[in-house]
Structure 1
Amino acid sequence: MKKRILVADDHAIIRDGLRQILADTDDLEIAGEAVNGNETVARVRERDWDLLILDVSMPGRGALELIKQIKSEKPRLPILVFSMHPEEQYAVRALRAGASGYLNKEADGTLLVAAIRKVANGGIYLSPFVSEQMARELMPGGGGEPLPHKRLSDREFQILCMLAAGKAIGEIADELCVSVKTVSTHKTRILHKMGMHNAAELIRYAIEHELV
């Protein structure tokens, strides 16, 4: 019996690409799709899935918040995050939130199928980079003083990455379905926590630490 997979991604080309790749397998099938956070939650509640493949950058709620909610309702549902963002941005945070794997969208088809199979069968997929990052955090002392961006909440970190990518506050508010005032408040907190004074410093920091 094939593993039933739910794909949550707002880009049709990604959903179609995944469907085509898995069409050549005997044990995996895309059995459902969602294009935003609310639809993802609704589809998860409809039936028992064997795997959720989740994009980080869908409109609405952040993926990290979404992972936490889904795991609270369906703790046995494995989640593989499939993202265009570098691993340094979200991988460790996604795993902490409850995901069982994180894969960059630049991965080739063979690696993608292997990661999907592993997570769908109850395993955990970690790239060498993510494995090293998590191992460092387990070392005595936590691998040293945490970098400023690691002190941010998941939502603050998401907004930091969006600001660093050059998005305006109004654009971020629209994408996250929140008010401009809320984004501005988050920006003020981010600057305070990171000991910075303006967006230019945030962008410079993000580039230096490969967050964009």
Structure 2
Amino acid sequence: MEAEESVAMAGVAMGHVNTGPAPLWPTFLVGQDDKPVRVILIDDDAHMQRVVAQELMADSRTLLVGQAAGVKDGRRLIKQHEFDVMLVDVNLNDGQGYTLIEFMKFQRPSAEAIMFSVMESDEQVLRAFEVGATGYLVKHSWFGSYPQAVLQVANGGAYITPHLARRLIQKFDARKASPSHVEEHVTSESRLLSEREKEVLRMVANGYTSAEIAVRLEISTMTVNSHIKNIYRKLHVRTRAQAVQFASLRRLF
């Protein structure tokens, strides 16, 4: 209750105005006026915490339900609040955000996690995805949008910055140019997924939600989610981001 009150008071103090959802926001997507995506925010940088909170509270599709500054308070926040997405910094005043993502996945497996940091090293990004994050943002980036990231992962997608996407493309191009890529393509790994599963995974990699994939492939959302579960099982991964990363590195689609 105290956390919720502090969030509300902070919103008033900073003069936040709820500007409402973006135009043409489809009703079939998660994040509507009457049922916004619930978010908890964990960052030990007080200024950055206010900035992110302001963005989230200015969008009626997202609802900030609690804030914390460290691992200890973050654990309590995860236990006490019902939420859909956690935004967490890499480095906190009493530990690292990775441990909170792992804790969240154990306590609330249906929730999504987005990690953010002042840096964007490949090592940090990969570790974030390995522990279960479905998004990675860079602080102070002109291209970062916290509400958009929250909405994207809440609707079954993944969120990465344009710079990170560019680096992944460059790595993909480098592998494609390598003489060994033809041999890699015909390994048994490339036959792990069916053609339909590869098609679904390509759409997941492009940021489409399960509902959008269902519309494009003219199948039910339940069937799409079934394909995604099969992809997880075959690739031995737990999240969409991990599946996309695994498949990209091994050229499975």
Task: Return closer, same or farther for 1:122/1:135 CA change in 2, 3 Å cut-off.
Answer: farther
CA RMSD of aligned residues (A): 2.8
TM-score (norm 2): 0.49
Which is worse superposed, 60-69 or 4-13?
A: 60-69
Match of 1:28 in 2: 62
Match of 1:82 in 2: 116
Q: 2:100 aligns with which of 44, 66, 80?
A: 66
Q: Deviation of residue 136 (structure 1)?
A: 5.3
Q: Deviation of residue 8 (structure 1)?
A: 0.2
Task: Return closer, same or farther for 1:118/1:22 CA change in 2, 3 Å cut-off.
Answer: same
Task: Return closer, same or farther for 1:94/1:87 CA change in 2, 3 Å cut-off.
Answer: same
Q: Deviation of residue 28 (structure 1)?
A: 0.8
Q: Deviation of residue 84 (structure 1)?
A: 0.8
Task: Return closer, same or farther for 1:36/1:117 CA change in 2, 3 Å cut-off.
Answer: same
Q: Deviation of residue 133 (structure 1)?
A: 4.2
Does the 8 A contact of 2:116 with 2:138 survive in 1? yes
Does the 8 A contact of 2:52 with 2:146 survive in 1? no
**SS of corresponding position for 1:108:** coil
- CA distance in 2 between counterparts of 1:96 and 1:130 reads 16
Which runs of 5 or more residues in structure 1 are unaligned? 144-212
- CA distance in 2 between counterparts of 1:115 and 1:95 reads 15
Q: Number of aligned pairs? A: 142
Give the letter for the 1:60 counterpart: D
Give the letter for the 1:95 counterpart: F
TM-score (norm 1): 0.58
Alignment of 1:37-48 (within 5 A): 37-48=71-82
**SS of corresponding position for 1:123:** coil
Answer with 1 or 2: which has the greater Rg: 2
Which runs of 5 or more residues in structure 2 are unaligned? 1-34, 182-253
- CA distance in 2 between counterparts of 1:125 and 1:11 reads 22
Does residue 55 in structure 1 map to residue 89 in structure 2? yes
Match of 1:8 in 2: 42
- CA distance in 2 between counterparts of 1:118 and 1:26 reads 15
**SS of corresponding position for 1:85:** coil
**SS of corresponding position for 1:5:** strand
Q: Deviation of residue 38 (structure 1)?
A: 1.1
**SS of corresponding position for 2:100:** helix
Q: Deviation of residue 110 (structure 1)?
A: 6.1
Does the 8 A contact of 2:143 with 2:162 survive in 1? no
**SS of corresponding position for 1:21:** helix
